[in-house]
Amino acid sequence: MADKPSRGLVLYADGLARFIDPSHTHLHSLASKANCGFLTLPNAPSSECEDDRIIREFAYLLDAAEAYISKTSGEINAKAECQSSSLITTISERFMGMKAALITTKSSLKSFAGQLGLTVFQPSELLESGHSLLDLPVDAVASELLKLLGFQEGKKLEMGLFDLVFVHIGAGEEDNGEKGRTINSYMGYINSLVGHIMHVAQPGSEIGPRLHLSVIMSYGSVSDADNLDFSVLVSDDKRNSDFSALFPRQSFTMKGEKQRDDVRHCYPMLMAQWQYGVTRKDLAETFSFKDFKEHGGNLAIPVDRFLHEVAFKLWKAPKYGA
């Protein structure tokens, strides 16, 4: 635990986990220094479209599933929906005045995040250039993101505009000014952005001990949720048969003392978290499902616990677990 509050940056690569390859050296370098693991998601509705998936998974990432359900329920009328919206608690209300922002091109995600009290930016607003994110210089974007958090020119300022900033980058953004972009473009940009941020926050800098960086890579829409190659469950052949009857339920399948009844065991989000001198380095060396499962220190937690974990690092929430 840091001796002072930290600021949090979350790079959320939506739907891009399956495209990580050995050339993404900065992502792998991060994994080799970070604490790595999985965020498990609930099963998706059978008729879910891509736009709904993006909002739903982001809602769970913010532990705001009830707000999402209220927003998408087709059984409530306009008056009831208005009443329901008034009951939605904001990020600031839930986490001790925490100021949070989201940078995304997705119009539907902007609207939902705004209801939760996040300040929403277009990527083009970072440098006031009018360009899309992938057309902006990576070093300048990294600098502006850190400036939002109160870090400038390698120094920590007394105040930042925000305690926590999310950056949503995804292959599902082609309908919002990124049409024609390739997966390689997104992956290359994320990889470079991670590299620049790690360089600025390197050990010995003022920023390093104060910046809590999370990189999350999701698989997006999943058509084969039974693929055991991407399951977070401990396989039967790795259990000691003599004690199989005593093998406890894995913690990510539980909520308090009750078992979660809707856990997708396959294709979780991949997560690496790094803060110099604070997070515990594990044995993972590459940003990959296989390495995280075999050597990650964080194993699997439900996706709705993510924000609570980060808020604790920012001194905006009490510790919820061990």
Cα end-to-end span (Å), the chain: 13
- Rounded CA-CA distance 201/310 in Å is 18
| Pure H helices in 201-321 | 289-295, 306-313
Residue 308: per-residue pLDDT: 93
pLDDT bin (cut points 50, 70, 90) of residue 83 is very low
Residue 75: per-residue pLDDT: 38
Q: What is the pLDDT of residues 14-45, one digit of tens each?
A: 999 999 999 999 999 999 999 999 999 998 88
Specify if 322 maps to a domain.
no
Specify if 2 maps to a domain.
no
Specify if 271 maps to a domain.
yes
- Rounded CA-CA distance 285/291 in Å is 7
Closest CA to 200 of 140, 160, 270: 140
3-class DSSP state of 154: coil
Q: Give me the mean pLDDT over the 150-156 stretch.
A: 87
Q: Which domain holds residue 49?
A: 7-235+248-313
Question: Based on the structure, what is the number of domains in the chain?
Answer: 1
Residue with tokens 């991949």: 270
Residue with tokens 């499962």: 293
Specify if 284 maps to a domain.
yes
Specify if 39 maps to a domain.
yes
Rg (CA), the chain: 19
- Rounded CA-CA distance 182/174 in Å is 10
Instruction: For residue 2, give every residue at least 6 positions away whose Cβ sits within 8 Å of its Cβ, in sequence order, or none.
Output: 209, 210, 275, 277, 278, 313
- Rounded CA-CA distance 194/215 in Å is 8
pLDDT bin (cut points 50, 70, 90) of residue 1 is low
Report which of residues 79 and 66 the model is more confident about: 66
Residue 102: per-residue pLDDT: 97
Specify if 67 maps to a domain.
yes
Per-residue exposure over 227-251, b if at least 16 CB sit within 10 Å of its own CB, e if not: eeebbbeeeeeeeeeeeeeeeeeee
Q: Which amino acid is present at 101?
A: A
Tokens, residue 26: 């900065």
Q: Is-contact 256 234, C-beta < 8 A?
A: no
pLDDT over threshold 80, residue 79: no
Specify if 42 maps to a domain.
yes
Residue 236: per-residue pLDDT: 52
Specify if 318 maps to a domain.
no
Q: What is the pLDDT of residues 211-254, one digit of tens each?
A: 999 999 999 988 765 566 788 876 655 545 555 554 445 565 55
Q: Is-contact 31 287, C-beta < 8 A?
A: yes
pLDDT over threshold 70, residue 183: yes
Tokens, residue 266: 């396959």
Which CATH number fits the domain that encloses residue 130?
3.40.720.10
pTM as predicted:
0.87
